[in-house]
Amino acid sequence: MAKQDLKQKAVSGMIWTTVQRFAGMGISFISGIILARLLMPEDYGAIGMLTIFMLVAQSFLDSGFGAALIQKKRPTQEDYSTVFWFNLVMSVVLYLILYVSAPFIASFYRMPILCNVLRVQTIVLIISALTIVQSNQLRKTFQFRKIAIVTLFSSLISLTVTIWMAYNGYGVWSLVVQGLLSSLIPSIIYWFTNKWYPRLLFSINSFKELFSFGGYMFLVHLLNEIGNNIQGLLIGRLFNASTMGYYSKARGTEKLASMSISQSLSQITFPLYSEVQDDRQRLIALIRKLTGFIAFITFPMMFVLILVAKPIFVLLYSERWLPSVPYFQILCLTGLAVCLQSVNLQAISAIGKSKTVFNWVLVKRSSSLVLIVGGLMIGGVWGMLWGMVVQAWFSYVINAYLVSKYIGYKLGQQLLDLLPIMMLSILAFVIGWLLSLLSLNFYVTGVLEFILFVVVYFTISYIFKLSAYKDFVELIPMFTSKLGIKKKKQ
């Protein structure tokens, strides 16, 4: 692929995934504002308790074949059909396992309603299996505009139905139906518009070839999902549903912010890295630019959210959710590291080092379990949260080390590239925090802190001409032109 052509596809993909992510954030905010006033913390807690089971099942469902199809330069019809039938059979098997296990899971949490909730919720697995191949085909061919439109349309429809159900007293079932519709609507659209249908064939050779790479990616994804959600399992078992609900709301809000940019870019980074996997200089330049861009936006976002967490939660969710605020503030410190992890991890995967990634994920997740369980035993929920902070930064350093070793973007250079952005974010945070010493209404204080933070951050970025700032400014005209917004001629 020509360098200019790749750049155009990268910019287009970045723009549409950003549109998708930020429009999705808007929809999620609206959803959070309305549903937080219609539903109880216990309703969110019930869904949060089942999250780990659903995500683990999703990992088994894909089994790394999605990543393998993208990493392979020219997958065949035989490859696609083989993966499709594997996904479909696996989804039925997983559904039956969870259906039978539902009463035992409900008993584990001491909440009988979870039995029926899980049995309905797991229908998502079968729906998802029908579109895994189609969605990966779109990603591989950089059709992110279509993905964005379908995703946002589905989100709006599912949100409308969910709000209606919550208003009419359906409680936790409102959230269950939201998940089902969010999967069902894209599935229907892709089947009618993608013009790809599986053939009645299953190739053992194709399966082995794809699984030789995808198998390790599956194990990586599985361990990551367990590691990222073990907290919910522990809180749900050791504390009550309300505590789980407060944690779920804090975690969901933090992820919405910290992953807004990195998840948008993660949809295009793996295909991009795969295209230039044989040119290490281009790969290093790409990693460096993407890392700086993500950090430049996400670091200040997380620090300013720590500053104004209380007024945001009261404004968006009502005072009922104030116990979530300190959870959220600590989790924002994990978000600083988590937003960078996938950029490095996907680069290592793209050059075919999936086994290496798996081996190091074992190290990271073993240490994660020790930190989280140890923190929980020492300091309860608070100890667990600080254990998550340490684990997140430890994982980032390992990912950065792997990029240093196998790609050549040295660890010391990576940290030096991030240092100006981190120091600037901390400086703006401290200056903004000084306003909290004034005896003002906390809404007024929050607005002033936000404005002062943004002014300080961007003013100093402009004065010192940070490279990430220049990348950010350069992207604005590309973004507006792609969306059809043209500058008026003087």
Q: What is the pLDDT of residues 25-70, one digit of tens each?
A: 667 667 777 777 777 777 877 777 887 788 788 777 766 666 666 6
For residues 285 and 414, membership in a common domain is answered with yes
In a domain, 72, yes or no: yes
Query: Do 359 and 462 share a domain, yes or no?
Result: yes
Task: Evaluate whether 427 touches 303 at the Cβ level (below 8 Å).
Answer: no
Tens digits of per-residue pLDDT, 83-100?
888 888 888 998 999 999
How far apart, in whole angstroms, are the C-alpha atoms of residue 142 and residue 145?
8
Whether 7 is in a domain gets the answer no
Instruction: Please tell me the distance from the alpha carbon of residue 325 to that of residue 335, in angstroms, as a whole number.
Output: 15
| Whether residue 170 is found in the same domain as residue 247 | no
Give the three-state DSSP class for 318.
coil
Alpha-carbon torsion, ordered 61, 65, 67, 69, to 10 deg: -140
Residue 101, domain extent: 39-196+203-211
Q: Helices 172-193 and 144-167 sit at what angle, rounded to 10 degrees?
A: 150
Question: Total domain count for the chain?
Answer: 2
> Residue for token digits 């792997």?
402
Does pTM top 0.75 for this prediction? no
**Residue 16, domain member (yes or no):** no
Residues 399 and 472 reside in one and the same domain: yes
Same domain assignment for residues 187 and 293: no
Q: What DSSP line would sit under 259-271, residue for residue?
A: HHHHHHHHHHHHH
DSSP class of residue 488 equals P
CA distance 399 to 347: 10
- How would you write the pLDDT of the chain (490 residues) with one tens digit per residue? 445 555 555 556 556 666 666 666 667 667 777 777 777 777 877 777 887 788 788 777 766 666 666 666 677 788 888 888 888 888 899 899 999 999 998 888 888 888 999 999 899 889 988 887 877 777 766 677 777 788 888 888 888 898 899 888 888 898 889 889 988 998 888 888 777 778 888 888 877 777 776 666 677 777 777 777 788 778 878 887 788 888 888 888 888 777 766 666 666 666 677 777 777 788 888 888 888 888 898 899 999 999 999 988 888 788 888 999 999 999 999 988 888 887 887 787 777 776 777 788 788 888 888 888 899 889 888 999 999 999 899 989 998 999 898 888 999 999 999 999 999 999 999 999 988 888 777 788 888 999 999 999 999 998 888 887 877 777 655 545 544 444 444 4
Q: Are residues 207 and 243 in the same domain?
A: no
